[in-house]
Structure 1
């Protein structure tokens, strides 16, 4: 699309063959699109076929597309710390696909368990294994840590180096920040309200110690409703973490701000105009 007018400039079909059974799929969905930092390309996850398309937009009249076979049921993902490798979940295949955006090829398929759902994932430097990327899961309590440094930590690259035990399944997002030593894991879709209404916080420098629980929904003090806590996001300075507290459209929702250093409540934003933020 034209960036100013949003007028379509080129329409490209994503129909194609499934990566495993080589069957034609007539209606595959696009699950994620990210811009490459290495080439003038968009990286496109085609969910049902398991194909990753590298669409070069340099000359849209003579469009070049590289097709990478990954694994079926591609969903969301994010960059490793170098912004070279796109780490993306093939959730119903229980794999993380690693796409090298510089060399434009599949680097690895990493087995994980069960139904990974990283959002963009989280990057930090593990005290033992070096640079890593993290995903949580919908299907269980596991928080899976994958090595991402093939140059200085070759033995750990594209391998599961740790599996942390979180509060439970139903996680949608993990988050940390370069200035933080905390790793936050939500459990939004867990059937237990105590778990879905709180978040787990791991100390990156002491991962074996387990997690602390922050009662985000309790702090929000919203009254009735499911009050599901979702998607921690840092402010630009990296000293605050903001959480959405989801309620029904006829119930009160809120945004809860936490001090990243003290893990204490800083502010509740519960304006009536906030509906399932």
Structure 2
């Protein structure tokens, strides 16, 4: 189920069931989960991923007593996703279907369902301008080492739009998040669920202007100097200025964890918190 709440008080205003039929086999699912929820920049709508049924719901909240819901068939096991650079198109991973669905939030329809390699996991994904293919959106994966770049500009680069234009090889599978920033040329890729500690405790970084040059590995967990523990490096996030990247270093609950701050320009350690 999903709940529409008062934005000021968080009072629940309407609870809506997500039970329904799967998009592929047309079987009834009694308890499909809600995954990503994002707010449309085009209409007064929430865009909601229903995981097990594979549907994307566009829920118009202007009048919840006469609520209008657009149901879009995508692919099963929808999870997380994010906007392209224009904030018109929502790209979301159906991770067990090995696909990326593209939703046009302005026209309220699916424009593409893109096949990718095993278990994509983009987080919100990462947008940058590729030197050859123009604007792209990026996802890494849980199931393999590939970082997939998808063209996102149907107006100026129509031949590349909603197609896989390049696949990079990272450190390994087990990635959860990729990140970049409009002011940066760095593309950061974590691998916290990789079984190799050397990979799960570090991060790969690509130069978006020289992608074929490969990646540099930064020893984030080593910089944190936490001693024993799994020390999984996860979820790079930029500060507002775009000159720092912050990483979480996760340990067990009975061990110390840390946040490691990296200078984006020099790729050097700035601070451990």
Range class of TM-score, shorter chain: over 0.9
What is the distance in 1 between the residues matched to 2:126 and 2:7?
29
Correspondence 1:207 to 2:211: yes
Report what 1:145 is aligned to: 149
Report what 2:260 is aligned to: 256
Report what 1:191 is aligned to: 195
Report what 2:12 is aligned to: 8
Instruction: List gaps (5 residues or longer) in structure 2.
Output: none
Question: How far apart are residue 37 of structure 1 and its match?
Answer: 0.2
What is the distance in 2 between the residues matched to 1:108 and 1:76?
16
Which one of the candidate residues 170, 175, 184 is aligned to 1:171?
175
| Count of residue correspondences | 269
What is the distance in 2 between the residues matched to 1:252 and 1:8?
37
What is the distance in 2 between the residues matched to 1:11 and 1:252?
40
The CA deviation string for residues 125-153 of structure 1, in whole angstroms up to 9 with x for no partner, is 00000000000000000000000000000
Local SS of the residue matching 1:226: coil
What is the distance in 2 between the residues matched to 1:5 and 1:111?
41
Report what 1:275 is aligned to: none
Correspondence 1:180 to 2:173: no
Instruction: List gaps (5 residues or longer) in structure 1.
Output: 270-277
Local SS of the residue matching 1:114: coil
Local SS of the residue matching 2:159: helix
The TM-score, its normalising length taken from structure 2, stands at 0.98
Correspondence 1:42 to 2:40: no
The TM-score, its normalising length taken from structure 1, stands at 0.97
Report what 1:68 is aligned to: 72
What is the distance in 1 between the residues matched to 2:164 and 2:121?
16
Question: How far apart are residue 248 of structure 1 and its match?
Answer: 0.5
Report what 1:246 is aligned to: 250
- Cα RMSD of the aligned pairs, angstroms, is 0.4
Question: How far apart are residue 5 of structure 1 and its match?
Answer: 1.7
The CA deviation string for residues 6-49 of structure 1, in whole angstroms up to 9 with x for no partner, is 11101111111100011111100001100000000000000000
Q: Which structure 2 residues correspond to residues 210-229 of structure 1 after superposition, within 5 A? A: 210-229=214-233
What is the distance in 2 between the residues matched to 1:63 and 1:4?
20
After TM superposition, what 4+ stretches of structure 1 lie above 4 angstroms from structure 2? none
Which one of the candidate residues 91, 98, 110 is aligned to 2:102?
98
